[in-house]
Amino acid sequence: ELSEKLSLGNFEQLLSRSFPPCMRRLVEKQRETKKHLKHAGRLQLRPFLKACGFTFEDSCSWWRKELCRDPTLTSEKFEKSYLYDVEHAYGKKGHLQGQNCCGCPAIIASPGEAAGQVHGCFFKQLEPSALQQQLQRWQVPIATMLEIQRLIKEGKHYQLACIEYFKSQHPSSDGEGVGNSPMDFLRTSCRYHKA
Ligand code: SF4
């Protein structure tokens, strides 16, 4: 159970405070580049936001607003081509209850990004220099950054890198449970902040 539910009201706070790097990157990248997330990125983020607590209405207005930051994507186009996915995720359309939020091993194993795509595990997808820049922007201490770089370089330990990131953002936490799934990351963070 989540100790805090994601809503439009607390989205910005939870984004920087409690989102795992893989999901935070998708949201921020779409805002920065004003290019809408491609299928694989949406497929990664959509069930996560739902599992975090977004209601159907929250999801509809969030996705409309964020996708339409891309000037090529109008509100009409959203209705026509993108709304269905949100409806499907909430079981409003189609036969299935939509996709579930994937665990870290599946996200790590998923095919890499082609040009224009943004998805996957943050620690696997980024080149060393881009990773360093992003961690600096998120104000990750230098010691953590070095440890993360070591873990990736020496053994592709992406999940352990994620735990190090978590620990740097949640002082005195041992990061227990982090690295299993993006949901576990958020759940552990919310529990930490409730305590
Ligand atoms: Fe996301 Fe898991 Fe990678 Fe962390 S280890 S960035 S939660 S996929």
Would you say 192 and 173 are in contact if contact means Cβ atoms under 8 Å apart? yes
Q: Which two tokens stand for residue 59?
A: 């999801």
Model pLDDT, residue 101: 85
Task: State pLDDT tens for residues 43-78.
Answer: 999 999 999 999 999 999 999 999 999 999 999 999
Residue 4 lies in a domain: no
Q: What whole-number distance in Å separates Cα of residue 63 and Cα of residue 129?
A: 30
Provide the domain limits for residue 35: 11-194
Residue 153 lies in a domain: yes
Residue 2 lies in a domain: no
Residue 131 has pLDDT above 90, yes or no: yes
How remote is the CA of residue 103 from the centroid of ligand 1, in Å?
Answer: 8
Model pLDDT, residue 63: 98
Q: What whole-number distance in Å separates Cα of residue 34 and Cα of residue 28?
A: 10
Q: Write the ipTM.
A: 0.99
Task: pLDDT band for 94, please (50, 70, 90 cuts).
Answer: confident
Residue 95 has pLDDT above 90, yes or no: no
Model pLDDT, residue 91: 85
Model pLDDT, residue 98: 64
For the chain, the average pLDDT equals 94
The four Cα atoms 21, 22, 26, 32 give a dihedral, to 10 degrees, of 40
Task: State pLDDT tens for residues 7-43.
Answer: 999 999 999 999 999 999 999 999 999 999 999 999 9
Mean pLDDT, residues 139-163? 97
Q: How far is CA 35 from CA 26, 49, 74, in A?
A: 11, 19, 12
The atom number, within ligand 1, closest to the CA of 108 reads 8
Provide the whole-model pTM. Answer: 0.95
Residue 110 lies in a domain: yes
Mean pLDDT, residues 107-115? 93
How remote is the CA of residue 108 from the centroid of ligand 1, in Å?
Answer: 8
Model pLDDT, residue 50: 95
Task: Return the residue whose CA atom lies nearest to atom 3 of ligand 1.
Answer: 121
Domains of the chain: total = 1
